[in-house]
């Protein structure tokens, strides 16, 4: 049976392992050992080499021991946002938080803890199950980099559960935005700002003209756009020759996103051309939208288990992203389960012990139900 103390101990042990994006090696080695011990066939793919990290995605396969020969994906990401150099978790009543100097990293170690507890209970209680494909991905927080290059097609997966949403257990993201991100570069021309400024082209002045015409912020009820960072300039007395702006846009509608991107690039092109500057960008689609149908098997099963556990099911629409975007876009219906983390991406992040247990219990009930 589910063991709450074991989940908490395991969670505390894992959050203490520092694993910023692209530096998940220690976490990967830890999980490889644990999965091996639980009888899974474990491997590591080449995502680290491809994406420039120090380890790849960790993949564990637990072969079916029943008539159900389907393969179900269970996934969570190993990386956390910063600061996460040293993490001192503190348990107070039912809450696990940090000393305020780092994030907790429950995003997404709460998801990993639930999956590991499921595997331990399966082994102990000899629960029958279909084939479980366990994937612990790298670099989710910096653009779903691990999931993006994970070769999921070769595993013949029926559907997937990603455990990586901060809402309350029982809920799941079934619709999510598409996201495009990249740099916008305006190249003007340097000149002495005091002696002959007229010979220069100030990239910031050109950008300012263009930015005035952009649609930014909350573009409409399902679309947003942002200029996140701006870099450029050399000295007081040099006409600013080059400017690089990081840009992102999200929408629940891929069509709207495409239109917005085209419009944004056209505006920069126009004002650069007018001033003799040049415009380049490397904005790329990080993840496509996904919108699962209510009739999907995975949603039906999700609803059934939520009801059984008296948790209020809700199909969430999210403008945030998760590895579920990647898998769903590749044609494998994948939902992103809520695991109850709070104030994620801040040093005030915390999670309730009750939610850690509920997430594990949910997975156990889910797997048991697959055999009924
Ligand atoms: Zn996450």
Q: How far is the CA of 350 from the centre of ligand 1 (A)?
A: 14
- Name the catalytic one among 45, 79, 242, 323: 79
Find out whether 29 and 17 touch, Cβ atoms under 8 Å. no
Q: How far is the CA of 256 from the centre of ligand 1 (A)?
A: 26
With a pLDDT cut of 90, the percent of the chain lying above it is: 97
225-230 — which CB contacts under 8 Å span 24+ positions?
225/249, 225/250, 225/260, 225/264
Residue that is written with structure tokens 């570069």 in the block:
185
H or E element in which residue 96 lies? strand 95-98
Domain 178-286, CATH class in plain words: alpha beta
pLDDT in tens, 294-344: 999 999 999 999 999 999 999 999 988 899 999 998 999 999 999 999 999
pLDDT in tens, 104-140: 999 999 999 999 999 999 999 999 999 999 999 999 9
Q: How far, in Å, CA of 351 to CA of 14, rounded? A: 14
Residue spans of the domains in the chain: they are: 4-176+289-369, 178-286
Domain 4-176+289-369, CATH class in plain words: alpha beta
pTM value?
A: 0.89
Which pLDDT score, from 0 to 100, does residue 11 have? 98
Q: How far, in Å, CA of 160 to CA of 351, rounded? A: 24
Residue 259 main-chain phi, psi, to 5 deg: -65, -45
Q: How far, in Å, CA of 199 to CA of 241, rounded? A: 11
Q: How far is the CA of 289 from the centre of ligand 1 (A)?
A: 17
Q: How far is the CA of 232 from the centre of ligand 1 (A)?
A: 32
Q: How far is the CA of 86 from the centre of ligand 1 (A)?
A: 19
140 as an active site residue: the answer is: yes
Q: How far, in Å, CA of 141 to CA of 323, rounded? A: 10
Find out whether 342 and 349 touch, Cβ atoms under 8 Å. yes
At residue 372, does pLDDT exceed 80?
Answer: no
- Name the catalytic one among 24, 107, 117, 140: 140
Q: Which two tokens stand for residue 300?
A: 């039906």
Q: How far is the CA of 141 from the centre of ligand 1 (A)?
A: 6
79 as an active site residue: the answer is: yes
Which pLDDT score, from 0 to 100, does residue 319 have? 86
């Amino acid at each position: 049976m589910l063991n709450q103390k074991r989940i908490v101990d395991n969670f505390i042990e894992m959050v203490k392992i520092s694993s910023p994006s692209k530096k998940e090696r220690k976490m990967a080695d830890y999980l490889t050992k644990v999965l091996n011990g639980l009888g899974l066939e474990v491997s590591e793919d080449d995502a680290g080499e491809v994406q420039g990290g120090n380890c790849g995605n960790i993949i564990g396969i637990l072969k079916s021991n029943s008539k159900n020969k389907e393969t179900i994906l269970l996934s969570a990401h190993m990386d956390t946002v910063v600061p996460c150099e040293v993490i001192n978790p503190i348990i107070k009543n039912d809450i696990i938080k940090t000393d305020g100097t780092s994030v907790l990293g429950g995003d997404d170690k709460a998801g990993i803890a639930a999956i590991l507890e499921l595997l331990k209970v399966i082994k102990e209680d000899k629960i029958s199950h279909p084939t479980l494909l366990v994937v612990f991905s790298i670099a989710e927080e910096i653009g779903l980099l691990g999931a993006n290059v994970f070769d999921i097609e070769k595993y013949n997966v029926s559907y997937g559960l990603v455990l990586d949403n901060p809402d309350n257990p029982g809920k799941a993201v079934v619709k999510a935005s598409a996201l495009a991100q990249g740099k916008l570069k305006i190249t003007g021309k340097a000149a002495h700002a005091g002696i002959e400024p007229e010979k220069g082209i100030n990239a910031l002045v050109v950008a300012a003209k263009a930015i005035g015409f952009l649609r930014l912020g909350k573009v409409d009820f399902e679309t947003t756009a942002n200029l996140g960072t701006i870099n450029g300039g050399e000295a007081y007395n040099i006409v600013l020759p080059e400017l690089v702006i990081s840009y992102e846009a999200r929408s629940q509608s891929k069509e709207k996103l495409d239109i917005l991107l085209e419009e944004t690039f056209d505006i920069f092109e126009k004002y650069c051309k007018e001033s003799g500057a040049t415009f380049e960008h490397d904005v790329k689609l990080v993840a496509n939208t996904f919108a699962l149908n209510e009739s999907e098997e995975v949603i039906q099963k999700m609803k059934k288990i939520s009801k059984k556990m008296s948790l209020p099911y809700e199909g969430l629409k999210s403008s945030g992203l998760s590895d579920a975007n990647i898998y769903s876009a590749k044609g494998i219906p994948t939902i992103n389960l809520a695991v109850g983390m709070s104030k994620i991406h801040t040093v005030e992040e915390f999670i309730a012990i009750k939610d850690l247990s509920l997430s594990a219990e949910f997975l156990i009930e889910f797997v048991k139900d697959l055999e009924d």
